[in-house]
Amino acid sequence: MAGRVVLHGMWASPYSKRVELALKVKGIEYEYAEEDLKNKSEELLRYNPVHKKVPVLVHDGKPIAESLVIIEYIDETWKEGPRLLPQDPYERAKVRFWTGFLQQQLFEAIFAVIKTDGEAQERAVKEVHEKLKVLEEGIKGSYSGGSPFINGNSMGLLDIVVCSTLGAHKIHEEVLGVKFLDPEKYPRVTSWVTALVELPLVKEATPPLEKVVGLLQFLRSSFLESAAA
Amino acid sequence: MGEELKLLGVWGSPFSRRVEIALKIKGVEYEYSEEDLFHNKSALLLEYNPVHKKIPVLVHNGKPIAESLVILEYIDETWKDSPLLPQDPYERAIARFWAKFLDEKCVPAVWKSCMSVGPEREKAQEEALEFLSTLEGELKGKKFFGGETVGFVDIVANFVGHWTGVLQEMAGVDILTEDKFPVLCKWAEEFQNCPVIKENLPPRDKLLAFFKAQRETITNFYKNKV
């Protein structure tokens, strides 16, 4: 499958990272355009007029926005290379269900912890633990056969989303002082995330720890300031 | 074929009706089970959707699938006649993009515009107008979002096509009006008159009466939902 592929992304955006991982898993050659979110390029605004956000994948001049939509597009367009979603419709439904859960429930809950302090943060932390418990139970039920990696050691969509949601747990610990991934409470989730962050592809795509910690600390103080204002 | 297909749903839910429309378009037979969401969720629902405890849930040969968009894609991939999504990957991506926009932006904004109170309601109304305007732009001269016939996005937009009119009447707000959104309103009319859709929409007066009577219960029930 030929054609020029350009990814408009941002180095610290987990959404952007998801698409990068998908492209790397498939072995697709692409150009990367780093966006300054405070000064978005004219192209980004033209390619994603509805949300004006990254990531946007541009394939032969045609733009696609929304990370999960992009990854399904990648899987359907580049049929060579490892599959990002399973073949079987029921297995695909399971992947989409859990991806949705991770995005709408867990990711949002972690984001709430970043944006709050005091009692509100305590509540948010509690909610993250509730969601992790559900995820742990879910893996037990849906993937009792073993590793959720759909191609042995090759990441699929669900692995990518787990990685982008929980992969930064050490950073969360450092900036927020909260440990989410308790191996005793969430053995399956913890071992899954631990295995994912060790993959060469993921390590390659992970920005330096201090850089992310710095940004997260900055984001957190901005949120807290504007909440207090 | 010896298939067992069951849908757990609720007569007044747009999410539930999406699945019914899809199954009817595909000409697939299924057993329907009405859930009592407010007072008494069935043991089956809690077993089949332990994560969210919500409808719709489609159970195919004992295997449950939850979340209406996930169910729609499952239906489209399992029964290949009368495709809901386009065949071309780029067109599919565009359809999925708009389905997400509808569910993540339009539905919550319209809902809160009618069900919320105070500044949250005002903010929601501003957003709803903005989002509906974007939707109107996307229709741009097409009969349906899917082109000449009803497709994936039209099914997902059922909330805009039918429920919005009812909710705004109940709440006494003006959101989806002909003067502001002529294209969208025309689409809503076409949508509601489409045979397979018409048979699968809850009657307007029944829906209106339901929302009026249940307003407080729903407001409390949905406070954490959207």
Average pLDDT on B16-44 reads 93
The residue among B66, B18, B19 whose CA lies nearest residue B162 is B18
Residue A62's alpha-carbon distances to A4, A5, A9, B97, B140, in angstroms, are 10, 9, 16, 14, 19
Give the pLDDT of residue B155.
97
Residue A129 clears pLDDT 70, i.e. is over it: yes
pLDDT at position B118, please? Answer: 85
Could you report how far apart the first and last alpha carbons of chain B are, in Å? 39
Percent of chain A, pLDDT > 70? 95
* Over residues B37-52, mean pLDDT: 89
Residue with tokens 């199954």: B23
CB contact under 8 A, A92 and B74: yes
Residue A147 has pLDDT above 70, yes or no: no
Please name the residue of chain B whose CA is at the shortest distance from the CA of residue A99. Answer: B70
Residues B99-125 have a mean pLDDT of 94
**Chain A contact for B5, CB < 8 A?**
no
Over residues B198-213, mean pLDDT: 92
% of residues, chain B, pLDDT over 90? 84
Band of the pLDDT at B225, cuts 50, 70, 90? Answer: low
Nearest CA in chain B to A78: B89
Percentage of residues in chain B having pLDDT higher than 70: 96
| CB atoms A76 and B89 under 8 Å | yes
pLDDT at A80 (0 to 100) = 87
Considering CB atoms only, which of B63, B92, B100 is closest to A76? B92
Which residues of chain A are within 8 Å of residue B63 when distances are taken between CB atoms?
90
For A97, the closest of B66, B90, B97 (CB atoms) is B66
pLDDT mean over B172-184? 95
Burial environment of residue B158 by CB neighbours within 10 A (0 to 12, 13 to 18, 19 or more): buried
Q: What residues of B are in contact with residue A76 (Cβ under 8 Å)?
A: 89, 92
* Strand positions, DSSP E, chain A: 5-9, 31-34, 56-59, 62-65
| pLDDT recorded at residue A151 | 55
State the CB neighbour count (10 A cutoff) for residue B136. 17
What sign results for the dihedral spanned by CA atoms A111, A48, B15, B49?
Answer: negative
Q: Which residues pair with B24 in a beta bridge?
A: none
B positions 77-106 inside 8 Å of A (CB): 77-78, 89-90, 92-94, 96-97, 100-101
Is it the case that residue A146 has pLDDT exceeding 60?
no
User: Which residue carries 């069900």 as its tokens?
Assistant: B115
**Mean pLDDT of chain B, nearest integer:** 93
User: What is the average per-residue pLDDT within B185-202?
Assistant: 94
Mutate to test the interface with A, among B58, B65, B68, B70 (most CBs of A within 10 A): B70
Per-residue model confidence (pLDDT) at position A149: 64
Please write the tens of the pLDDT for every residue from B84-99. Answer: 999 999 999 999 999 9
**Region B129-158 average pLDDT:** 95
Question: Which of B4, B61, B63, B90 best probes binding to A when mutated, by most A CB atoms within 10 angstroms?
Answer: B90
**Per-residue DSSP letter, B79:** S
> What's residue A76's pLDDT?
97
State pLDDT tens for residues A67-107: 999 999 999 999 988 999 999 999 999 999 999 999 999 99
What chain B residue is nearest to A49 in terms of C-alpha separation? B134
Residue whose C-alpha is closest to residue A72's, from A35, A48, A102, A100: A100
Q: Which residue of A66, A92, A97 is in closest CB contact with B67?
A: A97
Q: From the CA of B135, how many Å to the nearest CA of chain A?
A: 10
pLDDT at B224 exceeding the cut of 70: no
Minimal C-alpha gap between B37 and chain A (Å): 21
In B, minimum Cα distance to A60 occurs at B90
CB of A137 closer than 8 Å to CB of A187: no
Compute the distance between CA of residue B6 and CA of residue A214 in angstroms, rounded to an integer: 51
B42 pLDDT higher than 60: yes
Q: Which residue of chain A is at minimal alpha-carbon distance from B78?
A: A89
Give the N- to C-terminal CA distance of chain A in Å, as an integer: 52
